Amino acid sequence: MRLVLGLLMTVAAFAVAGRRVVYLYRLISSGQPAPGRLEGLGQRARDQLVEVFGQRKLLKWSVPGVAHFFTFWAFVVLAATILEAYGALFDRDFAIPVVGHWRLLGFAEDFFAVAVLVSLGVFAAIRLRNAPARRERASRFYGSHTRAAWLVLFMIFNVVWTLFLYRGAQVNTGVFPFGREAFASHAVAAVLEPLGETTNETLETVGILAQIGVILGFLVLVVYSKHLHIFLAPLNVLTKREPKALGPLLPMLVKGKPIDFADIDELDEDAPLGRGKVEDFTWKGMLDFATCTECGRCQDQCPAWNTGKPLSPKLVIMDLRDHLFAKAPYLLATNGDRPEEGKAVTGIEEDARPITATSK
């Protein structure tokens, strides 16, 4: 029965998330060409190691950086527990081939699960301390969609407790693939042991299904929220401007080709010079919009914002992103189906509505 339920949940979640991913791909790829974004693959591979896996830039922020480091690596390491949970749907005694009984893996899974719980506490404390309702403009979260952030923290917490629930029950039913090195799982097992073997067998099944359900729900939440950066940040780093993002202004492009101002009269009359509409941005610009986490670090460092001016780089990006999603039905429609530009577009499907647009 748990196999059927687990597979049904998976098919449903992948259908919803997959539809959203296709929609996002179509929307972002509708942007203007951005030549040279995959040149120098060696340097780009090093950037993945240093900035994504090493979390170099985030570690500059000390406490939140360390918390994010452990959270990121928890996602990486705990991917093994997802495989274990799905394997347990088919075989209660399942263990990952080759490494499934390694003591180091069992310890790492429990260590990072506990570490992410501590990190969640850090993130919660930071958000409470810097709550926009209390600090207003002084908070780097001012203008961000904070309710969506709290929901994500809650979902990560659910991932961890359901993980320990079924692992603790597995210890008591004799199907857990690791020994005492999985210290947290054994601690939970000690709490559950007095309930008896039958109850633990039930808790094992409930825990596995809850774990899979939470992970699938989290997947859907991520692709519909600002935490899309979990998947898009590596792509953004991969396609960033090399060798340095900060440098001379790039040449003005039309359809991906530099403009020769000596021959400007030869351009089409409707050729955009710069960015007049959201569709004038390159696909990389649109990827930047979708990757924004609303963390507010850019706003926190902005001289204009810090001297009481209304300009906020974070709010500019957020507004551009929301405008991109609002205009998506027009951008993705075929020419014959497009409404007259300038008129309101109605009937936006749920795929076109990011959670962040309605969850302040």
Q: How is 270-319 classified by DSSP, letter by letter?
A: T--SS-SSGGGSBHHHHHHHHH-----HHHHT-HHHHTT-S--HHHHHHH
Residue 351 has pLDDT above 60, yes or no: no
Residue 352 has pLDDT above 60, yes or no: no
Question: How many helices and strands (H and E) does the chain possess?
Answer: 14, 2
Domain membership of residue 294 (yes or no) is no
Q: If you average pLDDT over residues 53-74, what whole number do you get?
A: 91
Domain membership of residue 283 (yes or no) is no
Number of domains in the chain: 1
Q: If you average pLDDT over residues 266-273, what whole number do you get?
A: 80
Looking at per-residue pLDDT, the higher value among 258 and 199 belongs to 199
Distance, CA of 113 to chain centre: 18
Angle at 106 between CA 115 and CA 176, to 5 degrees: 120
Residue 57 has pLDDT above 80, yes or no: yes
Domain membership of residue 74 (yes or no) is yes
Q: Looking at residue 357, what is its pLDDT?
A: 38
Angle at 346 between CA 231 and CA 354, to 5 degrees: 20
State the pLDDT confidence band at 45, using cuts at 50, 70 and 90.
very high
Q: If you average pLDDT over residues 222-239, what whole number do you get?
A: 90
pTM for the whole thing? 0.87
Q: Looking at residue 360, what is its pLDDT?
A: 41
pLDDT tens-digit map of 311-325:
999 999 999 999 999
Domain membership of residue 24 (yes or no) is yes
Residue 239 has pLDDT above 60, yes or no: yes
Distance, CA of 272 to chain centre: 32
Q: Looking at residue 336, what is its pLDDT?
A: 56
Which residue range forms the structural domain that includes residue 229? 2-238
pLDDT tens-digit map of 78-131:
999 999 999 999 999 999 999 999 999 999 999 999 999 999 999 999 999 999
Which tokens belong to 162? 């359901």
Domain membership of residue 168 (yes or no) is yes
State the pLDDT confidence band at 253, using cuts at 50, 70 and 90.
confident
Range of lowest pLDDT (49-53, 122-126, 270-274, 300-304) = 270-274
Of 212, 218, 217, 216, the closest CA to residue 89 belongs to: 212
Domain membership of residue 334 (yes or no) is no
Residue 356 has pLDDT above 70, yes or no: no
Could you give the count of Cα atoms lying within 13 Å of 282 in the half-sphere of its Cβ? 19
Q: Looking at residue 226, what is its pLDDT?
A: 80
Q: If you average pLDDT over residues 191-210, what whole number do you get?
A: 96
Range of lowest pLDDT (8-22, 179-193, 199-213, 329-343) = 329-343
Mean pLDDT of the chain: 89
Taking the C-alpha atoms of residue 160 and residue 163, their distance in angstroms, rounded to an integer, is: 5
Q: If you average pLDDT over residues 244-265, what whole number do you get?
A: 80
Domain membership of residue 9 (yes or no) is yes
Of 14, 8, 38, 179, the closest CA to residue 109 belongs to: 179
Q: Contact, 34 vs 284, CB < 8 A?
A: yes
**Highest mean pLDDT (candidates 43-47, 202-206, 307-311):** 202-206
Give the dihedral sign, CA 134/136/141/143.
Answer: positive
Looking at per-residue pLDDT, the higher value among 67 and 262 belongs to 67
Q: Looking at residue 348, what is its pLDDT?
A: 45
Residue 150 has pLDDT above 70, yes or no: yes
Q: Looking at residue 335, what is its pLDDT?
A: 58
Domain membership of residue 258 (yes or no) is no
Range of lowest pLDDT (144-148, 166-170, 341-345) = 341-345
